[in-house]
Amino acid sequence: MTLANKSNAPEEQQTYCLAQAYMLWCLGDWAALDKMSSKITAESETELILYIIAAQYQLGNFDEAKQLLHSLQLDKHNKVIAAKLLISGVFNSLAKANACTFNHNSAEQNFSLALTCALPQTISQALINARANEQLAQLGLPRLVDDIKPSSFKPDALHHFTKSSQYFSHEPSLQVALAEYHQLNEQYDRAIVHWQNVSGLLNTDTPQIFYDRLKDAYKSVKSFPQGNIEQETLRGDIDKHRLLSEIHNYLQPEFYFEIGVQTGKSLSLAKCEALGIDPMPILGFELPATAKVITSSSDSFFKKQSDLLLKKSIDLCFIDGMHLFEYALRDFINVEKYAQPHSLIVIDDISPGHPDQAKRERCTRAWTGDVWKVKTILEKYRPDLFMLAIDAYPTGLLLITALNPENTTLDDNYQSIVDEYIEIDSVPNDVLARDNSISGKSEKIKREVECLQMLRTKKAASIEIKKELTDLVQSM
């Protein structure tokens, strides 16, 4: 949109238009404010045009708003006004996202910030209520006052949230809103992606209710959209569950611990006392009487229940939880605290078959996330460990032992490690090719695990365990 060339409007008319725009902006009647763009002339006050631009951003008319904004020659004063209005729009969008997820306190706070950050004077509660009422009415949500008539504008919720998430993708409330939108519209595969995004953003602070909603989506989803043949590539010369069963037979653990139970297929392999943790188990396999499942995220479990329920030494642990490296890393850190040097930890999903399978936001049916980073992190920060990567079907396994519960290197450097690896998007070629993995049918696995069982009986120290197993690998 460009400025029209018309004759000078009377000063009174300019003042009236500006006052009207100010009132509509305070209320948040974006549709009515946008209609005032037809009244813009070459003599229109810049502040009036800035209010209209702010409305266009709220309506999702980004291209039109940008064009109008770029047509202005802003002095220092108006640049400040423009910045305040744009920041105000951010708070207004966040308030609406919070309102859609019934987070009323955060919604009210953001509606208040949307006004106070742009207006110089003290804002009355009545004005904040008026803004909130209008915005909620536009979204079709209950209003605080029933006799206020909303404007006719009703935005496309999906369009609004999708556009907003392009600019505020790290705002959990927007991801929750998108998840609920897709879930209500029975688009469960998309809902799952956004619920997983919520967990990725909130990490240890993810409440159980979000996992419950994710579980509902998993129970309802038929399948994820499938990529092309190359994107869905899977490989391995032995099924992971078959290999896990063999490890149970070789190691003869007395206590088995599992993070990420899902259907219970891997937990059902345990022949000893076993404990599985999962915030959303969907059991489809019969479990032995010695196995128990606790509905809890692993983070919550280690905060509240681990001291009571992990009194026995963990002989074997399988980590197959959230497919984000920081989750798997936290799980390893927490498990090691309750382990012995001889304990064997197995981590799933370390070998994606295609770069798209390793993306943090799921876009393929086969999804490993970026768990592959855990092996790289352990190699760099914990060279004292013994690790063996296995070419298991479908997405590889990592065996780890020679543990040291007293080692705090990972814990002490956790945040810096996450900051270091979070931005890494590309998967190294050697990870995709599984260059450093051994065959799942290799005799080495049996020999290594049986040797570990013998070292458990001897109560060998971590250093001895690593040396014995390393020597054994090199001799074969």
Task: Tell me if 176 is assigned to some domain.
Answer: yes
| Span 390-405, pLDDT tens digits | 999 999 999 999 999 9
d(CA 40, CA 47): 11
Cα separation of the two ends of the chain: 74
Domain count, the chain: 3
Indicate if 192 and 56 belong to the same structural domain: no
CB of 74 within 8 A of CB of 50?
Answer: no
146 pLDDT above the threshold of 50: no
CB 254 within 8 A of CB 394: no
Average pLDDT over residues 384-392: 97
Query: 45-48 contacts: CB < 8 A, separation 24 or more?
Result: 45/14, 45/17, 45/18, 46/72, 46/74, 46/78, 47/18, 47/21, 47/78, 47/81, 48/14, 48/17, 48/18, 48/21
d(CA 396, CA 102): 41
Does pLDDT of 148 surpass 50? no
Tell how strand 314-319 and strand 291-295 pair up.
unpaired
Two structure tokens written together for 209: 């209710």
Are 260 and 371 part of one and the same domain? yes
Residue 296 is encoded by which pair of tokens? 């809890």
- Residue pair 196/369 in contact (Cβ under 8 Å)? The answer is no
| Domain co-membership, 105 together with 215 | no
Does the residue 162 lie in any domain?
A: no
Are both 298 and 405 inside the same structural domain?
A: yes
159-205 tens-digit pLDDT: 878 777 777 778 888 899 899 999 999 999 999 999 999 999 999 98
Residue 154 located in a structural domain: no
User: Is residue 275 within a helix (H) or strand (E), and if so which, with residue range?
Assistant: strand 273-278
Residue 147 has pLDDT above 60, yes or no: no
Name the phi and psi angles at 6, rounded to 5: -130, 170
CA distance 247 to 435: 23
- Co-location of 187 and 56 in the same domain: no
How far is 282 from 218, CA to CA, in rounded Å?
A: 9
Instruction: Identify the CATH number of the domain in which residue 269 sits.
Output: 3.40.50.150
Residues 424, 402 contacting (CB under 8 angstroms): no
CA–CA distance from 146 to each of 109, 137, 151, 172, 247 (Å)? 21, 10, 14, 30, 66
Instruction: Indicate the pLDDT class of residue 216, thresholds 50, 70 and 90.
Output: very high
Could you give the count of Cα atoms lying within 13 Å of 467 in the half-sphere of its Cβ? 5
- For residue 3, tell me if it sits in a domain: no
- The answer to whether the beta carbons of residues 142 and 107 sit under 8 Å apart is no
> Are the C-beta atoms of 70 and 7 separated by less than 8 Å?
no
Domain membership of residue 15 (yes or no) is yes
The pair of structure tokens assigned to 418 is 């996450």
Last residue of a domain, one of 119, 138, 157: 138
Q: How far is CA 188 from CA 31, 92, 198, 216, in A?
A: 33, 28, 15, 9
Alpha-carbon 51 to chain mean position: 35
Domain assignment of residue 398, given as a range: 240-475
Among the residue ranges 164-173, 275-284, 338-347, 430-439, the one predicted with the least confidence is 164-173
pLDDT higher than threshold 70 for residue 414: yes
Domain's final residue, options 117, 138, 159: 138
Let me know whether 316 and 462 are in one domain: yes
State which amino acid sits at residue 397.
Answer: L
Q: Is 143 a member of any domain?
A: no
What is the pLDDT, as a whole number, of residue 187? Answer: 93
Distance in angstroms (rounded) separating the CA atoms of residues 368 and 373: 11
Instruction: Name the token pair of 256.
Output: 């088995």
Neighbours of 195 (CB within 10 A): 29
Q: Are residues 16 and 123 in the same domain?
A: yes
Q: Residue 4: what are its φ and ψ, rounded to 5°?
A: -75, 150
CA-closest candidate to residue 455, choices 439, 442, 471: 471
Q: Confidence band (pLDDT; 50, 70, 90) for 44?
A: confident
Statement: residue 118 has pLDDT above 90: no
Query: Do 260 and 282 touch, CB atoms closer than 8 A?
Result: no
Does 6 fall in a domain?
Answer: no
Q: Are 174 and 168 in contact (CB under 8 A)?
A: yes
Residues 387 and 244 in one domain: yes
Residues 195 and 254 in one domain: no
